[in-house]
Each structure stands twice: as structure tokens, then as C-alpha cells.
């Protein structure tokens, strides 16, 4: 036997002995780790399937409230939305709250609708955009049923030059100011909308019409 073959056999025996020693010392732990890995993968797949199924069920329940609302079955629609809120799943409870407020408005209850929108707007855990939508929806209701101060309280901070919801906020403020006889404020907000030159947006067209109406009535000077 050559020296090279002898060395190779010795190395092989050493490797086998080390493997046996390693298995003897850590074999049970390796088996446990493998079992946990398999179980963990299975549990994740089960959880993922459960989450997907739950999301689908809640989504269907939420969407069914629209069909019920269209059928004027408001009590049933509200019950469906209550179920969605109780689920606590993702952002669905917040969307359900927005939908509930819309239903209250359809039922001719603006006070409850505004209270529901305010509740969502004040929810610090809600995504910022949902909070803003709630503020704007409440403001548009208050154009008819509240004061200019009520509208200003909710959306003045959204009427900046950089906020993505500024056009809707300005329109609500302009309409409310016009209704309250605050023509300078109404002129300011409608003009801010027109100055952005966002043609094709209905709020821009409405603002132009309001400015023309105010000029025609002599409420503001013609430019």
C-alpha cells in the first residue's frame, strides 16, 4: 500500500469517527431541529391559508354591504359592516366605518355620519390617507349642515400647496365660506383651485363657475 493510500484511509476513518461522535452527541438535537423546521413550514402554510381565507371572507362581507345599501336594506348592511369591524382584520374595520358613515348619510342622518367620519379621522392608528378621506367626507357634509368653522376645523390643514387632498379641501372650504357669506374666503379658495390649472378635474370647473357667479352677483370684483 502506498503512503498516499494509507493516508487517505486514515483520513476516511477519522472522518467516520468524527461523524459518529458528532451524531452521538448532537443527533437528537439535529432530529429535533429537522422536525421543528418541517412543523414550522407546515404551520406557516396553514396560517397563510387561514389568513387568505379570512381576508376573502371579510372582503366578501364588506362588499355585500354595498349591494344591501343599493337595495335600501340599510339595517342589514350595517350589520354586515359591524361584523367586519369586529373582525379587527387589517384596514377592513376602518373601511367599514367609512361605509357606515355613508349609509347614515343616505338614511338622512348627517349628524351620525359626521360623528363616524370624525371617529375615523381621530384614529391615530389609521393610515394617514384614510384619516384625510374621513376629514374631507365630514367637511362636505358640514357644508350643508354645519358652519364654516366646522368645515375649517376639519380640513384647513389639508388646504396647503402640497397636500394631495388639497383640491377637495379647498372646495369644501370655498363652498362653506360662500354659504356663510364670507366672500373673501370663498374667493380665495376657489381661486387657489383655478390657479393650479388642473383642467379636466370637475372641482376646477365648479370653482370657475362659482367665481363667475360671484362676479356676476357683485360679491367680488371682476378681474
Distance CA 126, CA 122 (A): 8
Same domain, residue pair 152 and 216: yes
Query: Same domain for 117 and 158?
Result: no
Q: Which residue has the cell 472522518?
A: 15
CA distances from 177 to 54, 87, 158, 191, 204 (A): 46, 41, 16, 13, 17
Q: Which residues of the chain fall below pLDDT 70?
A: 1-57, 62, 66, 69, 89, 223
Residue 179: other Cβ atoms inside 10 A:
15
99 and 171 both lie in a single domain: no
CATH of the domain at 131: 1.25.40
Domain membership flag for residue 46:
no
18-34 pLDDT tens trace: 445 544 554 454 445 55
Are 152 and 131 within one domain? no
Do 124 and 172 share a domain, yes or no?
Answer: no
The answer to whether residue 81 sits within a structural domain is yes
Q: Are residues 107 and 161 in the same domain?
A: no
Is 41 within a domain?
no
Quote the CA–CA distance of 148 and 162 in Å, as a whole number. 23
76, 105, 138 — which closes off a domain? 138
Query: What would the pLDDT profile of 112-130 be if each residue is shown by its tens digit?
Result: 999 999 999 999 988 899 9
Q: What is the pLDDT of residue 65?
A: 72
Domain assignment present for 6: no
- State residue 76's pLDDT score: 85
Residues 45 and 157: their CA atoms lie apart, in Å, by 45
Nearest to 217 by CA among 170, 175, 178, 189: 178
By 3-state DSSP, what share of the chain in percent is helix, strand and coil, each rounded to 5?
80, 0, 20
Centroid of chain to Cα 171: 22
Question: What's the confidence (pLDDT) of residue 11?
Answer: 46
Residues 158 and 105 in one domain: no
Residue 107 located in a structural domain? yes
Q: Contact, 152 vs 141, CB < 8 A?
A: no
pLDDT value of residue 206 = 93
Judgement on whether residues 189 and 153 belong to the same structural domain of the protein: yes
Instruction: Answer for the pair 195, 208: CB distance below 8 angstroms, yes or no.
Output: no
Q: Is 134 helix (H, G, I), strand (E, B) or coil?
A: helix
Same domain, 84 and 129: yes
Cα atoms found within 13 Å of the Cα of residue 53, Cβ hemisphere only: 6
Which of 88, 115, 138 is the C-terminal boundary of a domain? Answer: 138
Domain stops at, among 138, 161, 190: 138
Q: Total structural domains in the chain?
A: 2
Q: Which domain holds residue 102?
A: 57-138
Amino acid at each position: 500500500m502506498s503512503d498516499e493510500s494509507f493516508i487517505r484511509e486514515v483520513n476516511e476513518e477519522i472522518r467516520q469517527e468524527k461523524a459518529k461522535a458528532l451524531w452521538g452527541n448532537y443527533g437528537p438535537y439535529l432530529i429535533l431541529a429537522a422536525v421543528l423546521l418541517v412543523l414550522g413550514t407546515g404551520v406557516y402554510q396553514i396560517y397563510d391559508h387561514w389568513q387568505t381565507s379570512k381576508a376573502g371572507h371579510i372582503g366578501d362581507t364588506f362588499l355585500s354591504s354595498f349591494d344591501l345599501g343599493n337595495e335600501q336594506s340599510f339595517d342589514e348592511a350595517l350589520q354586515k359592516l359591524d361584523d367586519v369591524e369586529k373582525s379587527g382584520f387589517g384596514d377592513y374595520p376602518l373601511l367599514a366605518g367609512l361605509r357606515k358613515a355613508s349609509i347614515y348619510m343616505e338614511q338622512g342622518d348627517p349628524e351620525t355620519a359626521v360623528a363616524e367620519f370624525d371617529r375615523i379621522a381621530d384614529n391615530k392608528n389609521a393610515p394617514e390617507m384614510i384619516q384625510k378621506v374621513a376629514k374631507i367626507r365630514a367637511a362636505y357634509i358640514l357644508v350643508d349642515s354645519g358652519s364654516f368653522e366646522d368645515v375649517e376645523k376639519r380640513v384647513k390643514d389639508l388646504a396647503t400647496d402640497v397636500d394631495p387632498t388639497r383640491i377637495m379641501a379647498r372646495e369644501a372650504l370655498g363652498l362653506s365660506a360662500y354659504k356663510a357669506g364670507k366672500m373673501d374666503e370663498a374667493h380665495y379658495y376657489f381661486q387657489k383651485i383655478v390657479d393650479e390649472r388642473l383642467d379636466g378635474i370637475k372641482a376646477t370647473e365648479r370653482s370657475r363657475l362659482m367665481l363667475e357667479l360671484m362676479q356676476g352677483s357683485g360679491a367680488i370684483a371682476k378681474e
